[in-house]
């Protein structure tokens, strides 16, 4: 039973004891948690402890702090009902007591039956308040669950799409500010353990892994100031997005994440026949960079093909990977890789083609497709390392993604050779382009955006146009202009919409399509959000103003 916590304040000890006996006689649900001889004593006691109080029974006139002042001051930090007991039959006291929130005003001497009637009324008010609070908490919890569900749905849709138009990235406004970190979790499907699984068994284990994820996050991942969202990425693959809302904490955000993924790996390995590999991204503030980090982690997780599964892979792996000859690669293959790298740095296309021919002549003699894949992956990693050094803006997730897919999509050895050759020459072209004068990449980006307002505009497309890494480009653009790429694209499209609304008789739908919004309702809502009025209202106001002038 939840008791009704009560304190009694009166400067006469005899009266305090008498009121306490009256309160206890009202039933077991009443609990006297404190008695005080003065308002000041009661105030200090209640404000220096975490105790919840439901009812304050207090006299009016007391030496240090009177009862009405006590109620007024205590209301600033506590929520409670107040019952005033006084020997002064003065309307002024009654009026003040009611204004300060007292539920009633009882004159001394206190009549027992009258007191019990008043306490019953107070009890009903307290119970009604508790019920209202519980109902409100349920409403709040439901609202939070709906918000969380909507956020997860948006994250799932965004990470499934290969390329998302910036106009659709307005969803980022639904998420709180802070430092984010993206995690990709992929179960290692070891053939020796799973080759006998039928469809039903796969479904069972997929369900088991999801339960482990869910229970671990709900029951064990309770860190103040850290929010999380998780969603599926196909069978036995998951995304986890973490948000750090506290800039200063005893345990670093990175350590919190690493501890959790360690628990997750152990739990999956303990309760299923699987191991799990995890790719950890870096921290970022702009949630619009989620897609770029998605691509980085999808590339990073593929390092398990080289280093094996049941590991946690971090982004610095790409930067710090050893230049030594990997296991299984012969010295002659290693030599041809280095020749290719040197030719790439000089931009010598003929030498690149020749070195690749010799490289493939060597690996064609390898007896295992695993060794061929390892050799191609090594070549790819060495080239990506050089690309990063040449670029100077950090690793390019799109180049690495292409590299890691080379052996996956080749139907035969000839196709593999052609794919690798095409990829290496494309990297050479991009490296050559970086040597051109880029005096104003922001201006180039703005011009490209203005010329493509009606097309699908993505951060990747803009960054590729100015030969910059997408992550670095977003930061650089904001530092140079004071606004995000998303805000600039949105503002440019809406300024173009204003121009078309005022100078043409095109329908709202046609204008929406011309500036890159296929959903007219979304365009109208966005226009009103930015401009303060709907497109139709803006057009009507524009023509009225123009006709008057």
Q: Identify the pLDDT of residue 410.
A: 60
Minimum mean pLDDT among 231-235, 397-401, 435-439: which range? 435-439
pLDDT of residue 380: 85
- What pLDDT score does 183 carry? 93
* Res 323: pLDDT: 45
Domain boundaries, the chain: 4-132, 161-314, 331-433, 444-457+470-548
How many CA atoms are closer than 13 Å to the CA of 55, on its beta-carbon side? 28
Same fold, 4-132 and 161-314: no
**What's the pLDDT score for residue 189?**
65
Sign of CA dihedral 479, 481, 483, 488: negative
Angle separating helix axes 369-391 and 331-346, nearest 10 degrees = 30
* 55-72: average pLDDT: 85
Residue of 3, 65, 59, 70 lying closest to 31 (CA atoms): 3
Q: What is the mean pLDDT of the segment spanning 357-383? A: 82
Architecture field, domain 4-132? 3-Layer(aba) Sandwich (3.40)
pLDDT of residue 182: 93
- 500-544 pLDDT, tens digit per residue, is 888 788 899 999 999 888 888 888 988 888 888 899 888 888 776
The CA-CA-CA angle for residues 517, 171, 527, to 5°, reads 45
Residue 337's closest CA among 420, 401, 413, 433? 420
Q: Could you tell me what percent of the chain has a pLDDT over 70?
A: 81
At the topology level, CATH places domain 161-314 in Alpha-Beta Plaits (3.30.70)
Q: Please state the rounded mean pLDDT for residues 206-213.
A: 87
Q: With cut-offs at 50, 70 and 90, classify the pLDDT of residue 392.
A: very low
Q: Average pLDDT of 245-251?
A: 74
For residues 155-160, average pLDDT: 82
Tell me the per-residue pLDDT of 171-187, one tens digit each, with 9 for 90 and over. Answer: 777 888 888 999 999 88
Whether the predicted pLDDT of 226 surpasses 60: yes
**What average pLDDT does range 380-400 have in this prediction?**
63
Cis geometry, peptide bond prior to residue 109 (ω within 30 degrees of 0) = yes
Sign of CA dihedral 85, 91, 92, 97: positive
* CA count, 13 A, side-chain hemisphere, 208: 15
| Res 36: pLDDT | 92
pLDDT band of residue 261 (cuts 50, 70, 90) is confident
Where does 444-457+470-548 sit in CATH, by number? Answer: 1.10.10.60
One-letter-per-residue 3-state SS of 340-372: HHHHHHHCCHHHHHHHHHHHHHHHCCCCCHHHH
CA distances from 109 to 115, 458, 515 (A): 11, 79, 80
Backbone region of residue 541 per phi and psi (left: phi > 0; alpha: psi in -120 to 50; beta: other values): alpha
Does residue 108 carry a pLDDT above 70?
Answer: yes
Residue pair 63/38 in contact (Cβ under 8 Å)? The answer is yes
Q: Which helix (H) or strand (E) holds 231?
A: strand 226-232
- The pLDDT value given to residue 328: 60
Query: Which of 172-186, 279-293, 401-415 shows the lowest mean pLDDT across its residues?
Result: 401-415
Question: The pTM is what?
Answer: 0.52
Distance CA 463, CA 470 (A): 5
pLDDT over threshold 90, residue 240: yes
- The residue with greater pLDDT, 101 or 510, is 510
Angle among Cα 251, 252, 256 to the nearest 5 degrees reads 80
Q: Residue 17 gets which letter from DSSP?
A: H
- Say which range, 313-317, 410-414, 488-492, has the weakest mean pLDDT: 410-414
Instruction: Read off the DSSP letter of residue 491.
Output: H
pLDDT digits (tens, 9 = 90+) for 319-344: 555 444 455 667 788 788 888 887 88
Q: 100 falls in which pLDDT band (50, 70, 90)? A: low
| Exposure on the CB side of residue 37, measured as CA atoms within 13 A | 4
Of the candidate ranges 151-155, 165-169, 322-326, 467-471, the one whose mean pLDDT is the lowest: 322-326
Mean model confidence pLDDT for the chain: 80
- CA-to-CA distance for 523 and 417, rounded, in angstroms? 47
Least confident of 89-93, 153-157, 284-288, 425-429: 89-93
Q: What is the pLDDT of residue 278?
A: 92
């Amino acid at each position: 039973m939840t008791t009704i916590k009560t304190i009694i304040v009166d400067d006469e000890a005899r009266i305090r004891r008498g009121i306490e006996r009256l309160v206890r006689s009202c039933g077991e649900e009443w609990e006297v948690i404190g008695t005080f001889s003065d308002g000041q004593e009661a105030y200090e006691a209640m404000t220096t402890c975490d105790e919840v109080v439901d009812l304050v029974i207090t006299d009016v006139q007391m030496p240090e702090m009177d009862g009405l002042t006590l109620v007024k001051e205590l209301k600033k930090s506590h929520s409670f009902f107040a019952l005033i007991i006084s020997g002064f039959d003065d309307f002024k006291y009654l009026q003040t007591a009611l204004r300060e929130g007292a539920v009633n005003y009882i004159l001394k001497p206190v009549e027992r039956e009258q007191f019990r009637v008043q306490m019953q009324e107070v009890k009903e008010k307290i119970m009604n308040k508790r019920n209202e609070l519980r109902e409100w908490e349920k409403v709040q919890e439901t609202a939070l669950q709906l918000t969380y569900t909507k956020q997860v749905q948006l994250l799932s849709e965004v990470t499934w799409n290969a390329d998302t138009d910036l106009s659709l990235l307005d969803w980022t406004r639904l998420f709180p500010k802070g430092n984010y970190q993206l995690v990709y979790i992929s179960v290692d499907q070891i053939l020796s353990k799973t080759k006998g699984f039928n469809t039903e068994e796969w479904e069972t284990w997929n369900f088991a892994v999801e339960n482990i994820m869910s229970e671990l996050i709900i029951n064990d991942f309770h860190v103040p100031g850290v929010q999380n969202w998780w969603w599926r990425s196909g069978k036995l693959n998951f995304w986890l997005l973490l948000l750090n809302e506290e800039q200063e904490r005893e345990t670093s955000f990175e350590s919190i994440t690493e501890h959790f993924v360690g628990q997750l790996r152990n739990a999956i390995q303990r309760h299923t026949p699987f191991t799990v590999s995890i790719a950890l991204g870096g921290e970022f503030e702009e949630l619009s960079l989620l897609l770029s980090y998605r691509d980085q982690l999808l590339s990073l997780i593929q390092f398990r093909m080289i280093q094996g599964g049941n590991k946690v892979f971090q982004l610095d792996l790409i930067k710090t990977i050893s230049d030594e000859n990997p296991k299984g690669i012969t010295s002659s293959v290693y030599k041809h890789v280095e020749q290719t790298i040197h030719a790439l740095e000089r931009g010598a296309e003929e030498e690149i083609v020749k070195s690749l021919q010799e490289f493939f002549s060597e690996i064609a003699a390898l007896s295992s497709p695993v060794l061929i894949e390892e050799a191609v992956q090594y070549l790819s990693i060495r080239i990506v390392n050089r690309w990063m050094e040449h670029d100077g803006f950090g690793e390019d997730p799109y180049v690495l993604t292409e590299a890691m897919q080379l052996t996956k999509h080749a139907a035969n050895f000839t196709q593999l050779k052609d794919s690798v050759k095409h990829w290496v020459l494309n990297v050479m072209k991009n490296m050559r382009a970086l040597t051109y004068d880029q005096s104003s990449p922001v201006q180039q980006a703005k011009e490209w955006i203005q010329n493509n307002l009606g097309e699908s505009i993505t951060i990747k497309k803009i960054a590729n146009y100015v030969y910059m890494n997408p992550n670095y480009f977003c930061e650089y653009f904001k530092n140079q202009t004071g606004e995000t790429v998303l805000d600039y694209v949105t503002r440019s499209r809406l300024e173009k919409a204003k121009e078309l609304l005022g100078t043409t008789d095109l329908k709202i739908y046609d204008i929406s399509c011309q500036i890159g919004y296929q959903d007219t309702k979304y365009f109208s809502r966005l226009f009103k959000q930015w401009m303060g009025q709907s497109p139709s209202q803006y057009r009507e106001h524009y023509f009225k103003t123009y006709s008057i002038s």
